[in-house]
Structure 1
Amino acid sequence: MPYLYLTIAIIGEVIGTSSLKAAEGFTRLWPSLLVVAGYAVAFYCLSLTLKHLPIGTTYAMWSGLGVVLVALVGWLIFGQKVDLWGALGMGLIIAGVVVLNFVSKTATH
Structure 2
Amino acid sequence: MTNSQAYLGWILLALAIGLELSATILLKVSDGFSRLWPSVMMFVCYAASFTFLNFAVKYMPLAVAYAIWSGVGITLIGVVGHYFFGERLRLTSMVWIGFILIGIIGLKWSDS
TM over 0.5: yes
* 2-structure distance, mates of 1:64, 1:21: 19
Equivalent residue for 2:42? Answer: 35
Task: Extract structure 1 runs of 4+ deviating beyond 6 A.
Answer: none
User: Aligned residues, how many?
Assistant: 105
RMSD: 1.2
Give the stretch that moved more between structures: 28-37 or 87-96.
28-37
* 1-structure distance, mates of 2:94, 2:41: 27
Partner residue of 1:71 out of 65, 74, 78: 78
* 2-structure distance, mates of 1:58, 1:64: 10
Partner residue of 1:53 out of 54, 60, 82: 60
* 2-structure distance, mates of 1:34, 1:75: 22
| 1:99 equivalent in alignment to 2:101 | no
| 1:44 equivalent in alignment to 2:51 | yes
Residue 99 of structure 1: how far off its partner (Å): 1.4
Deviations 1:22-48 (A, max 9, x none): 101212022112201211220110010
* 2-structure distance, mates of 1:37, 1:3: 21
Identical pairs, percent:
35
TM-score, length basis structure 1: 0.89
